Amino acid sequence: PRLQSAPRQISHPSSQTLSGIPSVVLALALFAGWMPSAMAFARSGAFLSSARAARSPVSLATRVPSVRLMANPTRLTNPPDLLDDVDVFIFDCDGVIWKGDTLIDGVPAVLDKLRAAGKKCFFVTNNSTKSRKGYKKKFDSLGLDVEAEEILSSSFAAAAYLEQTKFKDTGKKAYIIGEVGIGEELDLVGVPWIGAESFKGVDADMSPQGQVEVDPDVGAVVVGFDRWVNYYKIQYAQLCINELPGCEFIATNLDAVTHLTAAQEWAGNGAMVGAIKGCTGKEPTLVGKPSPLMVDYLEFKYGFDRKRVCMVGDRLDTDVLFGNDNGLKSLLVLSGVTTEEKLLSDENKIEPDFFCDDITHFFK
């Protein structure tokens, strides 16, 4: 049994108008294709319901994680224990499928065997640097046969959230700390934006009378991973959030570290989000894992049984928590950021159903 973390509720001015949406409206996602699917899901009202559980007046670092009572993580030694009870696998990407731009050995064969066994595979990444279209190109470049509709990214989640909350109707624009992925997804839903790579290399004027001028039409700050984040971008964000009435603070994810290269771990988007939290005192709306937004979308579109879905990832506080909090099975791989020592330590309170060295152990 698991202790489920308490629902994290937020209020939203449009929440009353989105209650009681008939199921026939939700079925629109089944009709939608790849690019329109974010809009169909968003317009249904389901996305905002998920978003209400993704924000809290306290830091996510202080939330009570899902834990298991009187149990220890089980090393996967008999693969049928997992495979016989799972119809759908949701894979994280960094640390599970690849590290940086290097494919992890044995992954293509595993995916082929899973599909041959009738399993559905989806790929859900917190990395916002690419859009779904960009990730499709990355899968192709690594020789992996993955359909565009099988890919979800936190950049996609940010766009769908803004579409659902009818941000475009406000006439405002989004300011992005991040790279090309968020902007490409916002373009697909018609949300105007500034920042991202267009602010790359811009320095703040810190002369005696220097100041940063912000666009008064900014209505949301979206913070994603940005390899070129600097003081100017942080100052721009804090001015928007602190001084522009109603400006929303949205985080694609809170990952502490990430895999930029196969050689070492690098500071993740948690560093960027933390900087903005620190100078605003505000908590963001979280749209990436472990927020339920993306699994709600997949369930909404494909109608699967959550009890027969397994989340596979390399992070306890995002991937495993994403599975545990949302009624999925969870499996931790040790091919990414989490070591077996950390998993089994007394300090760790987040436990997966299974763990193994990497996904090749699904068929060993």
CA distance 144 to 109: 10
Q: Which of 285, 182, 178 is CA-nearest to residue 234?
A: 178
**Residue 205 falls in the annotated catalytic set:** no
Q: What is the DSSP letter of 269?
A: H
Q: Which of 81, 84, 85, 87 is catalytic?
A: 87
- Tokens coding 235: 């100052």
Strand spans (E) along the chain: 2-3, 67-68, 74-75, 88-91, 98-99, 102-103, 120-125, 151-153, 173-177, 193-195, 218-223, 248-251, 257-258, 266-267, 285-286, 309-313, 329-333, 354-356
CA distance 93 to 85: 22
Q: What is the DSSP letter of 340?
A: H
**Residues near 41 by beta carbon (within 8 Å), at least 6 away in sequence:** 28, 29, 32, 47, 160, 164, 297, 300, 301
CA distance 57 to 2: 24
Residues with active-site annotation: 87
